């Protein structure tokens, strides 16, 4: 296909430059958005009397035919086309004649591509949000079932205090809820201004109606500055930043699952459908899904860095550097979508092993704080209670005992404040259920968190 800009050139462009310059191999995926924008643009041209009603009718009929033929397979995108915009316009012209040549009146590829990428990202954001909602619901289901499963909570990857499996999982539900909000915020700002009508950078002399095109395409208003309209890629950066943050949360959850399903922890068992084996070690059951999510997170970070570096030094308005935005945006969105589609059913089929969780909790002295709190409630200053309990823990470690295994006589050697009720106070279930502060690990609190998260999902 010939280039749309060949009018000034005195000779053909070197084929190597054409290949280097071409974007059809990746921007072809925006063809539906490109056609949607062209339908509205041409309708506006007709409304304003810039082109005839017959031209509008021919253009719309031609564009709908192209889309139908693409869906049916009767038409394939020409890989020799420079970009998706060229392919659509030249295919349209071949089908409807001169009316197709009038489609681009009052428009530049600069504002056209700025529109298309916005429309594509808006559609993709909705799909990603749906995937995040499904993952949150899968987490809530596992958390509901495990709201009473006592396990060690960790700091510095050291056993710290007792929590429940449900409480630990709900931390990720809240993270993902924030990710949902970030994508919604990014999409709202993306929808705030429509670049169509900005032209190459300085608008147009045609009497176009930018309010009409903005409204018909679902934007709040046309962008207020035509230079900003074609040179802005903040919305790409914000979108990929939200995706990268979500990937970071998926990576953290994946790391937990990798640890939990190892023999050293064995808190969960992954379904065979979501693990792989070894070519040489028959006993292996590898959590490849979660390991790949961990690895792909770095890939999305790279996409974000690509956009930031691409934009950091280019002058106004449009520069060809900005063609690099699409591959980074597409890759980030595709990667998150793939991870969500795989992680959600993996979590749904994951089997918790509560006996192993509780056994690890019992051996970790994670009720030491509760023992100190017991003494404090009996009247001992907290710092003294902290030191006393620390001494007891050191002695238990040396004797290969847990606090629960000490006799009452042994407790009393450390403080006469200890009574029979100490065993109830340091029982792991009591330790969890006693943490009734808002947002804590008590079963009622976990169930309340689940209800609140589900209510927020329903609101959105």
Q: With contact defined as beta carbons under 8 Å apart, do 358 and 270 qualify?
A: no
Name the active-site residue from 156, 231, 251, 437.
156
Q: CB neighbours (10 Å) of residue 214?
A: 23
CA distance 375 to 77: 76
254 assigned to active site: no
Is 226 known to be catalytic? Answer: no
Other Cβ atoms less than 10 A from the Cβ of 206: the count is 14
Query: Which residues are known catalytic residues?
Result: 156, 278
């Amino acid at each position: 296909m010939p280039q749309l800009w060949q009018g000034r050139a005195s000779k053909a462009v070197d084929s190597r430059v054409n290949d280097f310059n071409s974007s059809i191999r990746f921007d072809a995926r925006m063809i539906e958005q490109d056609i949607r924008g062209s339908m509205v643009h041409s309708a506006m041209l007709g409304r304003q009397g810039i082109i005839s009603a017959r031209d509008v009718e021919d253009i719309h009929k031609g564009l709908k035919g192209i889309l139908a033929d693409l869906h049916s397979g009767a038409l394939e995108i020409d890989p020799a086309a420079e970009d998706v915009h060229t392919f659509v316009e030249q295919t349209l012209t071949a089908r409807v004649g001169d009316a197709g040549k009038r489609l681009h009146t009052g428009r530049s590829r600069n504002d056209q591509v700025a529109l298309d990428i916005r429309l594509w990202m808006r559609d993709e954001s909705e799909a990603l949000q749906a995937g995040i909602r499904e993952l949150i619901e899968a987490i809530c289901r596992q958390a509901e079932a495990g709201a009473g499963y006592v396990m060690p909570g960790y700091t510095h990857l050291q056993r710290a205090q007792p929590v429940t499996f449900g409480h630990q999982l709900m931390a990720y539900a809240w993270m993902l809820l924030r990710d949902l909000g970030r994508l919604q915020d990014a999409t709202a700002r993306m929808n705030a201004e429509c670049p169509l009508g900005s032209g190459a950078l300085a608008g147009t002399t045609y009497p176009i109606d930018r309010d009409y095109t903005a409204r018909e395409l679902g934007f709040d208003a046309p962008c207020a500055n035509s230079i900003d309209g074609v040179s802005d890629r903040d919305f790409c950066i914000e979108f990929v930043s939200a995706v990268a943050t979500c990937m970071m949360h998926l990576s953290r959850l994946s790391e937990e699952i990798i640890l939990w399903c190892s023999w050293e922890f064995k808190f969960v068992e992954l379904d065979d459908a979501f693990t792989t084996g070894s070519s040489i070690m028959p006993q292996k059951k590898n959590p490849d899904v979660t390991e790949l999510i961990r690895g792909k997170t770095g890939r999305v970070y790279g996409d974000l860095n690509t956009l930031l570096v691409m934009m950091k030094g280019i002058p106004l308005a449009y520069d060809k550097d900005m063609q690099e935005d699409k591959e980074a945006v597409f890759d980030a969105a595709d990667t998150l979508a793939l991870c969500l589609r795989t992680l959600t059913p993996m979590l749904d089929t994951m089997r918790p092993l509560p006996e192993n969780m509780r056994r690890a909790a019992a051996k970790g002295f994670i009720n030491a704080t509760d023992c100190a709190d017991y003494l404090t409630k009996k009247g001992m200053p907290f710092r003294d209670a902290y030191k006393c309990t620390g001494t007891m823990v050191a002695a238990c470690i040396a004797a290969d005992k847990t606090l629960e295994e000490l006799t009452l006589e042994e407790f009393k050697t450390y403080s006469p404040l200890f009574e029979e009720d100490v065993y109830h106070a340091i029982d792991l279930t009591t330790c969890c259920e006693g943490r009734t502060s808002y947002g804590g690990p008590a079963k009622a609190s976990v169930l309340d968190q689940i209800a609140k998260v589900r209510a927020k999902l329903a609101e959105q």
